[in-house]
Structure formats: structure tokens, C-alpha cells
A and B are shown apart, each in its own frame.
Chain A
Amino acid sequence: MLAAQRRGRAAVLALAGICGSTGCRSPWQDLFHVQSAGARLPVIAYGPSDASTVVLFQHGGPDGAAGIDPLPPGLANLTEEALVVTWAQRSTGLASGISRTRDNTIAQHVADLHAVRQAMTSRYAGTRRLVLAGHSWGVSLTLAYLDTYGEADVAGLVLTDGFDAFGNNAERSFMRLAELASERADDTTGEDADFWREVEDFALDEGTSGAPYATETIMEASSACARIEQELDRPEPVESALPALGTVTSPLVVPDGLLVSWNLRTMFEDLTAFDQSASVEDRRLPALLVWGESDCRVPVATGESILARYGGDATMVVVEGATHFAIYSQPRAFAEPTLAFLEALP
């Protein structure tokens, strides 16, 4: 039945002319939607439907992500062993329906995740180990979810490059950016060296000022981090046979940015005040933390801080040379410890 559904979907895609680089084969195993507070959230499951472990993944953001492969390559490498379920959050281009701007809150995202979990449980009946995984903002969402709904029937956590409190992370982020900028200034000459010295000074000033961070300041730091990521992120070939939707660029970048800023203004206010640092101590689930060594958005120091306060058994793996996007750029380095972690779960 599932094979017939896949063939039908592939035929529809072929008719529509929406074909991946590997041809007109449907890039997912199973697709359904969850309607929550007006938004329709696509849920895509990859891997064997009878797998004993289900990994439910919360992507980063909280914006965009339509052009980003809904299945990060790091998770694609898990699909031999586990059913990996990804979903698009309400503010992304993959979501549809009518959602209100005022519903773009952390609380609503938590409710959305619970709805996705309920639908998934209903669809894939049977006793399975559920592992919650999150990247970047997806880590914050996962922690907020556990704080609201508890840990019942969850077997473990995989957290990568995310924060438990915005305020603590911002300071560490500026200090790590200053370190990385300093290294680059030492290794380069001329205009490049001047640029990195300026970034270093800016990051040190902001990191030590103690003042609240303005949006423009965060955006400037983000821009410098993006330049480091462009240098370091050299994606490995993905071993999974599953084709990616691919990342694309669009001439609509400017209006997109305006729309996203408008759409997420409530969300950014929520995020600035986000603080789950106390509840991390209450977590009892086995956890794996995977961090990019050169992440200057959510640096290793934030991961180490979560690890030190975490209430249950937790281990941390630092991926050398990786940035904030280790799950995308170094899939093997992400997947190996994650597979070992999944196998060791009771």
C-alpha cells in the first residue's frame, strides 16, 4: 500500500514537473499534514516504518527552511536504523493554511509539536522508542516542550547547537565570535585582516558591555558568523539514497526578509526572553549533545553549560571544524555518535 502511494505521489510530482536531481522519484517515505491553530504543518517521515526507534526532529530557525532540505543529511544517515520524522514549523515556507501573526509564539510552537507527536503516534501505532532531536532553535523548542508536557514516553534527547537561555548564549556567542575573528585576522592580510580585526573589536565590545542586545547588533554578529560558515562548511556527499529538495536562492530575498520580519516579530520578542536554564536541571532523559567546534551562534561553551547542569545522563561530542550547521555539513560526524547513542538507549 505504501509503495503504491509512493508511486502515485511520484506520478503527481512528475506531472507537476517537480523532480529532484535524481529524477522524478518521490523524495519522502510518508507525508501527512497537521492543522494546528490555523496553520497546516507538513510532517515527513523517512526510513523503515516498522523501526523500533522514532526520531522526531525540530528544525532550527524559526524562519525560512523551505529551501533547506527538510531532512538534514546528518539525520538522513540514521534512516537505515530509525524512522526519522521531520516537520515544518508554522512560519516556514513549507507550512500553509491561515495562521495569525500573534500565534507565532513559543507556546504555540510547543502546542504544534505536541499535535505533531499525537498525529505521529496515531499514524504509526505500536510501542516504539521516541527520541526528540533539535537543532539550534529546535533545541529551545524541545526543552520548552518537555517543560510543558513532561518526559513521559520519551526515551532520549539529541540536542545540537542550540541554547537553553537567550541571554546567557548571546554573551558567549559574541566572545566566541571574537576568538574566531582574531584567528582569522592573524591568518590573513590586507583588507581581510582589517575586516576581522573590526569584527573582533565589535564582538568584544558587545560581549562585555552587559547592555541588552539590539536586533541590529545580533544581525551584524550573525552576518560575521555567516562568513565564517561559508569558509568552513564544506558539505560531505550525503550517503543516504534519499534525494534532497536542495537549497536555492531567490530574487525575492528582500521582500521575503520583510515578510519574515513582520511575521516573526512576536516570536523574536519571545525568544529574547527565552530562559529554560532552570528546567534543564530537571531533565532526566538520556541526552546526547553534538556541537560544532567553530559555532559562533551557539558556541561550545553554551553546550558545556547545558551539559554541566543537565539532570540526567548526558554526553557531549564536539565536531572539529564544524560550525553551527554540523548536522548539515558534516553528516557522518553527526550520525556516528547519534547512532551509537540510539543503540545504547534502553
Chain B
Amino acid sequence: MSELRRVVRWSVAALAVVTGDAARASDAAPPAAARPSRTVFGEVCAFVPDPIQAPASRQFEAGMSLSRGKGPFVRVRAGGAMRSLGGDVLGLVEGGFGSTSPRSFVKDVAVGIGARQQFTAGDLYVVQDDGTVRRQADLGTTLLLATLSGGVGWDLRVMTGQPLHVLVGPRVQLTLPQRGGGAIELGLGGRVGWTF
């Protein structure tokens, strides 16, 4: 019977870690990750190729987030995207909600809005008012960017004492206007951050 109780106790503990809700399953002190913190991070997001919207692209970003370790946070990102037919410079402000369990499991979800300056590869020929075509410098096209992203990972402060965290998660990104409508991209991002 005691064996059964031990199995149940360990199962509940394991489940609590996975759901990031271990605090309720133990009397542990508030984790280090729950303190107010600032984090700088770098992220790479790979977007899947799409037969209608766009070929594959990669997005590289760096940013900073302000949080209380648990609950709401604000994040700013700046970076660039590389597409097969051009590249972008982009900036985003995100707001979201996250949590860190005493066992170091981190999860967050965020919505963001920003802008991207889209450049095209190769020379650019522009149709003039008189109908002729002339080669011009590419100053880019300014577009609106909206994102919905999530992430799960680990805060290494709890496990190793290092002020690092790593997360992976999906991202849906909408660029407006594109081709008279919008372009939706679906990607997977990986983030490494340093908390101070």
C-alpha cells in the first residue's frame, strides 16, 4: 500500500512539473524565476514553405523582455528575415503571459504588433508615370506585422544556476497588406535568453 502511495505521489509530482504547476504540489519556496526580471534573448524562427503564400524563410531576432517571472510580460524584438527573393528588417512589441514552475519548466504565449521593411533581391525596375521603366534604388516597402506565438522550455537558473533559458514554440505571422490581401506564415521558433 505504501508502495502505491509513493507511486501516486511521484506521478502527481511529475504531472505538476509537466504542467508547470508544481508550486501547488509542494511547499517549496518561491522560485528564483518568479522574481522581477529583465531578459535579453535571441531567436531564430523558420517558416514553412507554402504553395500560395511564400517559399520558406528564416527570421532572426534579438530582443528584451520585462516580466515579474510569472504573469504578464512585455517584450520588444528587432531583427531581420531572409527570403529566397529578398529580405526584411522588422521590429515588434509583444505582450503576453508566462509562468515558470519551481522545476524550471517555462511556458508563455504572446501577441505582437510591429512593422517590417521589405526589400527585394536583385535590381529593382520601377514603372514611371510616363509608362517607361527605370532602375531605382530599393528603399523597401513598409508593411504591418502581427504575430501570435507560444513557447515552452526551461529556465536553467533553477536546474544549474545559470541565468539562461531556452524555449521553442510555434508562431503565426500575418503581414498586411500583401498582394492585395495578407500573407500568413506559420513557423517554429527557438529562443535563448539571458536573465539579469
Contacts and interface: CB of A to CB of B under 8 A. Distances in A.
Nearest to A91: B179
A40 B54 contact: no
Contacts of B85: 31, 33, 42, 94, 96
A122 B138 CA distance: 18
A88 B55 CA distance: 13
A65 B186 CA distance: 18
Interface stretch (A153-161, A227-235, A250-258, A317-325): A250-258
A172 B95 CA distance: 56
A250 B47 CA distance: 11
Contacts of B49: 66-67, 246, 248, 250
B53 A103 contact: no
B88 to A, nearest CB: 9
Interface residues of chain A: helix, strand, loop or mixed (majority): mixed
A15 interface: yes
Given A35-B125, A94-B55, A17 B46 contact: yes
A89 B83 CA distance: 18
Interface string B172-191: 00000111111111100000
A247 B178 contact: no
Contacts of B177: 98-100
A263 B122 contact: no
Contact of B180 (A42, A64, A100): A100
B125 A260 contact: no
Give the one of A97, A248, A262 with max B CB within 10 A.
A97
29 contacts: A15-B82, A17-B46, A18-B83, A31-B85, A33-B85, A34-B126, A35-B127, A37-B127, A40-B141, A64-B51, A66-B49, A66-B50, A97-B118, A98-B143, A99-B179, A100-B177, A101-B180, A104-B180, A115-B125, A118-B125, A118-B133, A245-B55, A247-B51, A248-B49, A250-B51, A256-B52, A256-B53, A259-B53, A262-B181
Given A40-B120, A93-B54, A96-B86, 8 more contacts: A18-B83, A36-B127, A42-B121, A66-B53, A68-B51, A96-B85, A252-B184, A257-B52
Interface of A: 9, 12-13, 15-18, 30-37, 39-40, 42, 63-68, 90-104, 111, 115, 118-119, 122-123, 245-252, 255-257, 259-260, 262-263
